[in-house]
Amino acid sequence: MNPQNGYDVEDITVGMSAEIAKTITDADILLFAAVSTDTNAVHMDEEFGRTTMFGGRIAHGMLSASLISAVLGNRLPGPGTIYMSQSLRFRAPVRPGETVHAKITVKEVIPEKARVVVDTVCTVSGKVVIDGEATLMVTSSKKRQEAGK
């Protein structure tokens, strides 16, 4: 792994995986609401949340999903990775205080295009809360060498 460019496409193989975990706090929810401007009461107001099918406040789905981006940009493939697409299925809510584990697993490597397809999943206590698939543009040592000639 190159610390500035992460893993190059030539170093990535099907089955490689990486993950991170983060406990979602009230502050995270408030800050995400401020940045995203999504102030839906189900995220911001416990009393309102109790009137919903969730029985209480829940974190923004995209807050939990954003942890996938952290895995991709910081772990695998790492720095230099560009998100091209992401599908998401929201399976269950995440509540303040719960720890989300975001994991990616390499599903396909397309070396000639410097692309990687990964399965993405977020879990809380072993239960899937989000799953999907992402396509990434990754760095290439071959292309760097060709550019240097």
* pLDDT tens digits, 90-128: 999 999 999 999 999 999 999 999 999 999 999 999 999
User: In this structure, which amino acid lies at residue 133?
Assistant: E
Rounded Cα–Cα distance for residues 30 and 16 (Å): 34
* pLDDT tens digits, 17-60: 999 999 999 999 999 999 999 999 999 999 999 999 999 999 99
Contact 21, 99 (CB under 8 A): yes
**Domains identified in the chain and CATH numbers:** 9-148 (3.10.129.10)
Q: Which residues pair with 131 in a beta bridge?
A: 89, 121
Q: Which residues pair with 92 in a beta bridge?
A: none
Taking the model in full, what pTM does it have?
Answer: 0.92
Q: What torsion, rounded to 10 degrees, do the Cα atoms 28, 30, 33, 34 define?
A: -110
Asked if pLDDT for residue 87 goes beyond 70, the answer is: yes
**Residue 28's pLDDT is what?**
98
Question: Could you give the count of Cα atoms lying within 13 Å of 11 in the half-sphere of its Cβ?
Answer: 15
